[in-house]
Structures are given as C-alpha cells and as structure tokens.
A and B are shown apart, each in its own frame.
Chain A
C-alpha cells in the first residue's frame, strides 16, 4: 500500500501543539521566528532571488500551517485573538487522540518508502472495525465512527471506510445482542455513503456536526453532546 500523503500526520502535528506544550515553549518558538526574520539576528537573511517552486502537499496542509502559526503566536501571548478557537483545539486534541486508536493500532508500516519518501503501510480494516465497536465506549457509536473515518489516511480513505463499514455491519449482524440498539443501527450499513444517508446529511454537514460533537465531548459538556447527537440523528434514525 502506498500512501499519497500524510494528512493524519500533519493534522496531528497541529494538535500536538496543545499537548504537553507550555506557553514558554510557544514563546521560544515565537522568539526564534522573530530572530530568524530580522536582519542582524537571522542566520538565513541573505537576499536571494524570489523563485518559488510548486509542490503537491496533503489536503489542508496550508490551513494547518496557518493554524499552527496562529496558535503559536496566541499561546505565546502575542495575541488575544482566537481564545475560543484555542479552547476548541485543546478539547479536540484530547478526544481525537483517543478516537484515533482504532486506525492507529491497526495500521502496519513496512520497510521501504514510496516515491514521495513516505513509509509503506496497510490497514487491517477488520481490526479497525472491531476496535471501533468495542473500545472507547465512553463515546457514542457515531462519534467513534467519525473518529475512525477522520483518522484514516487520505489515500483511498473512502474505500477503506467502506471496508470498515462492511466489517461493522457483519459484526453487529452476527452478534446483535452484544451491542446496543444505537450501535446496531449505526453500524448496519454496507458503505459509508449508506451510513451518511441514514443521517440525511451530506458529508460536509456531517463533518461540521461531528466536529461540534467532538468539541463538546472535549469540554465534557454532555448536555451539549446529547443535543447535538439528537440534531445529528433527528428525523433520520
């Protein structure tokens, strides 16, 4: 299996800013940036012809770079902007770290690199499905499915997710009594598109709603989680 990007890795890099990082760390990075930018203190300040080259990067790479830069400045105390966003980021980071486990624990990396220098990998869809259903039970099943979907690498993400959905469906059909009614209903779909259809949402609407739910979990606001889940499933399931 050859990945075409490192979407998950890049996103996690941004989120890592908020894990085990202090304002002192952010201040150091910010001061480094200032030093590197100004004549006299920069080691790389020689004037050079402006000749940018173009390169393909994972989806949302630029967005993540901007968020990282903004976040470092904000944590460093340079800006009071984005405090709400900071809280959301911190909340998302903690939750995402747990929801990523089914994919993380079932991804195998192999020796060798692809043409882009990325390690070769493969995903055990059956293992990822079992872990999605049987772990992280403190989260509802739709949030666990969302966590698995968004933590898949972008390379053939939809194909892998369809495979995971088929495994989820097989598991709940073979052992319906082992799972809650909500789990059986959520998992009983042959494809991810079928799952989205059961919510009466397109993918963008679904992702927006689930981001809100993830943040609500991160803030431990279970009342908001319940309301948002009702909105997610309202009128559909």
Chain B
C-alpha cells in the first residue's frame, strides 16, 4: 500500500498524482479516483496566508503545465514495460 493525497472537487474525488512548480506557481495534477484517464490540473494560490486550489486561467496555461509534466515523466513511460 502507499499513501496518496486526495482532494474533493464538485464532481468527485481526485488523487493528487503530482505537484510541479512552474514560474513560482504550484500546479497539482489530479486523477479521478475511479477513472485514471479522467484528469485535470489545478494551481495553488495563496490568499491571506492560506492555500486555495484554483482553475487555470487559459488553455495555454494548461498546455504549458502539461508539457512540463510530460517532460518530467518521459522516462516513466519509456521505462514502463
């Protein structure tokens, strides 16, 4: 067994698959608990010293975050056999 972090969005529970900091912003990569191909990205924003999860501003921001994720995990896929 391994311990994972989970957050609840309005449409269900998501596993935090990864966290990546890009341009001083922390992005969290979320995978739906019961469907590994259902995923989304959120970012963490600070307000009054508290952390909030927020949607991304643009599709370009999503694409950038995905590219960084793919670059980071390229080897995972290469090694999967």
- A positions within 8 Å CB-CB of B: 4-5, 10, 13-14, 17, 29, 32-34, 36-39, 42-74, 78-79, 81-82, 84-86, 88-89, 91-92, 211-212, 214-215
Contacts and interface: CB of A to CB of B under 8 A. Distances in A.
Given A37-B42, A37-B56, A62 B4 contact: yes
B56 A54 contact: no
25 contacts: A4-B1, A14-B36, A33-B38, A34-B59, A34-B63, A39-B57, A44-B11, A44-B55, A48-B9, A49-B52, A50-B7, A51-B7, A55-B3, A57-B4, A61-B2, A61-B4, A63-B76, A65-B31, A66-B76, A68-B36, A69-B31, A72-B39, A82-B70, A85-B78, A214-B81
Q: Determine chain A's interface SS by DSSP, over half rule.
A: helix
Contact of B50 (A49, A69, A91): A49
Contact of B55 (A42, A53, A64): A42
Contact of A68 (B37, B54, B66): B37
Given A33-B41, A38-B57, A92-B81, 10 more contacts: A36-B40, A39-B56, A43-B10, A44-B10, A53-B5, A54-B3, A58-B1, A62-B4, A68-B36, A81-B71
B1 A13 contact: no
Nearest to B71: A81
Contacts of B9: 44, 48
A70 B77 contact: yes
A50 B44 contact: yes
In the complex, the 4 A-B pairs of residues with the closest C-beta atoms, listed nearest first: A82-B77, A45-B55, A85-B77, A88-B81
Contacts of A91: 81
Interface of B: 1-7, 9-11, 15-18, 29, 31, 36-42, 44-45, 50-59, 61-63, 66-67, 69-71, 73-74, 76-81
A10 to B, nearest CB: 8
Contacts of B3: 54-57
Contact of B81 (A13, A47, A51, A215): A215
Given A69-B39, A211-B81, A38 B17 contact: no
Given A29-B38, A42-B55, A50-B52, A70 B2 contact: no
Given A49-B51, A73-B70, A81 B77 contact: yes
